[in-house]
Amino acid sequence: MFAIVPYVQGWVPPVAAIDIPSFAQFPWLGLVGWLVLLVLVLVLVGVIHWVRDTVDALEMVDEDWWVLVFGGTCGALLAGAMAVGWWALPGAAALLSAELFLFARRRDRLVPETKRFLGPGGMKNIAAECRTQWARAFVGSQPPAAPESLKDRFRNLGTLLRRSATKPSKSDTRSKPATPKAAEPDGTFTFLKKDGTPAIVIQPGGQARVSDNVRSAHLMLANAMRRGATDLHFDPHDKQYAVRLRVDGVLIDADPVPQEVARGVISAIKVISDMNIAERRRPQDGTFAVLNGDDKYDIRVASTPTSYGEKLVLRLLQTSGGILSSGLDAIGLRRKLLEPLREIIHRPYGMFLVAGPTGSGKTTTVYAALSEIDAKQHNITTIEDPVEYRLENITQIAVNKQADVSFASILRSVLRQDPDVLLIGEIRDRETAEIACQAALTGHFVFSTLHANDSVATITRLLDLGLDATLLQSAITAVLGQRLARRLCLECREPCPPPPGLIKKFNLKPGVVDHIYKEKGCDACGGTGFRGRLGIHELLTVNDDIRGLMTEQPSINDLKAAAVKNGTHTLQIDGLMKVIEGVTSVSEVLRVTT
């Protein structure tokens, strides 16, 4: 019994006695234990809902397994608290923490770095996720999220590709991948056979009856085209396939794709490309085309066996619009090169060669030049391996190695078809080079490409193939050396003072060029600092001085000196001119020219 007596100095009120229980026998420990158990159960229920939302959003293929793990933990927690006692609660909390850690690590593989839980900024991301779940549970709506940046989408390419490996259907015990819904492209997507006939048409939001493998191939190709990729790689490894895109000449790694999904996609692509789907021990080549909305792409497919499985590489060539419709204006030629080059390609006879390493845009430049010639007034024939761009009113012939149809054999036959202009995809051997030179001397204009470092090296390369020097002197009209450099992103490029070496190279007065630009990186360019590519060129026009130096063993230094005297700017000089114009950077020019 406790007595509460109010007291003020100078006045004593009557004493009132109040009975208040002391709770001496109340089970405080049990109440605390039940509260802890209730909190853990509520946390587990919330975790299970969050796990379901996460695996649905990321299209994870092991949803049922994770839900079973956390649900089993919830059941084990209740059973352990009743059978073992409250001492089971700390162990349950530790088990739950370990499971959450493993699931978070699995989740982080499928999201951009800026949204990961385990890493820099992890606590901030966890707090943001908790706010989102709280809004869904108690407010009924999700707080507006910041728009996803291009950088996040760029890094999240692997997630989009992984979505093609969709969740197994609960009614199908074979764990068959289903088609994702979130990454559906907007426009109509049509697969075309190499003869141009439609093979599969996928409508936006439609319920087309296509296999999961075709749907996955559709999503991967659409995502690659959306990012402007020129190549799509499927590289096999021990338990998965690495998917990589070549964007602006640089390979970008995406998250890996499971073996079964990648093999299904490869099989679908091989069927569309008219390749032998059962042959995995020998290299194969194939082609097909797609219509992605209004854009048409010709796709070249090459497969090769490896120790871990079949590797597939797709070359994506956009044939609608772009460079082919704009001609030489779209390849980045300076006006001082553009005007003489146009005069060269309209000559009645001669040979024009484009030289550069693999992937330097030689074929595109040749096609751009060819598109400026009136195909209705000229009989134009191309010989290619394979045919990369489809052109109207032009006869295009593909080399067939299996039928023993080579460049040389086709070229002999074509010369009897009264051609005005010939395009030879690539000069690879002496026989093809000799026939091409003879065609250039007999009233035909010949376009071709050659693997060489620069325009001067093209002459020595042809001599190394065994051509007679006098034949070269008469046949070659001009050689265009080419590289592809990345354009600076206009959204984030930042000015910087020009290096002293640049000023000295051009013998400029101080202050004439007060600044140039360098790459920085932003959301618009995916953090690279570059968007798109442009050509860097050197045009060697063969005159009498250069012809006189074409001997069986020419001097490279003399040829270069004669070319510079003739007005030829080297690749590096042309690139540095574009640096001064602000379209690329010094580091990019040095990367592609040294």
CATH of the domain at 170: 3.30.450.90
| Per-residue model confidence (pLDDT) at position 341 | 93
Q: Quick check: is 275 in a domain? A: yes
Q: Quick check: is 529 in a domain? A: no
Q: What is the pLDDT of residues 339-357, one digit of tens each?
A: 999 999 999 999 999 999 9
d(CA 562, CA 568): 9
Q: Quick check: is 248 in a domain? A: yes
Same domain, 193 and 94: no
| Per-residue model confidence (pLDDT) at position 71 | 67
Q: Which residue has the higher pLDDT, 98 or 449?
A: 449
Helix or strand holding residue 411 (H, E) = helix 407-414
Q: What is the pLDDT of residues 269-280, one digit of tens each?
A: 999 998 998 888
Range of the domain at 158: 152-318
**Which residue, chain included where needed, has tokens 């002999």?**
412
Residue 490's nearest CA partner among 454, 450, 522, 456 is 522
Q: Quick check: is 576 in a domain? A: no
Radius of gyration in angstroms for the set of CA atoms belonging to the chain, rounded to a whole number:
34
Same domain, 551 and 428: yes
Q: Quick check: is 379 in a domain? A: yes
Please check the confidence at residue 137 and state whether its pLDDT lies above 90.
no
Q: What is the pLDDT of residues 350-403, one digit of tens each?
A: 999 999 998 888 988 998 899 889 888 999 999 988 777 777 888 988 887 777
Q: State both tokens at 50.
A: 């969050």
Please check the confidence at residue 19 and state whether its pLDDT lies above 90.
no
Same domain, 335 and 303: no
d(CA 424, CA 408): 10
Please check the confidence at residue 302 and state whether its pLDDT lies above 50.
yes
Same domain, 380 and 438: yes
Q: Are the beta carbons of 401 and 409 closer than 8 angstroms?
A: no
d(CA 359, CA 329): 20
| Per-residue model confidence (pLDDT) at position 208 | 57
Same domain, 110 and 174: no
- What mean pLDDT do residues 204-226 have? 81
Q: Which residue has the higher pLDDT, 355 or 92?
A: 355
Helix or strand holding residue 443 (H, E) = none
Q: Which amino acid is at 332?
A: G
**Which residue, chain included where needed, has tokens 């020009």?**
498
d(CA 531, CA 327): 21
Same domain, 104 and 253: no
Instruction: Give 225-240 as a 3 state SS string.
Output: HHCCEEEEEEEECCCE
Helix or strand holding residue 301 (H, E) = strand 295-306
Same domain, 50 and 130: yes
d(CA 186, CA 241): 27
- CA torsion angle for 379, 382, 387, 393 (degrees, to 10)? -10
Q: Are the beta carbons of 498 and 513 closer than 8 angstroms?
A: yes
Give the residue from 148, 173, 207 where a domain finishes. Answer: 148
Give the residue from 91, 118, 148 where a domain finishes. Answer: 148
**Which residue, chain included where needed, has tokens 């706010």?**
131
Q: What are phi and psi of 340, to 5 degrees?
A: -65, -30
Q: Output the CA angle 564-570-576, nearest 5 degrees.
A: 130
Average pLDDT, the chain: 79
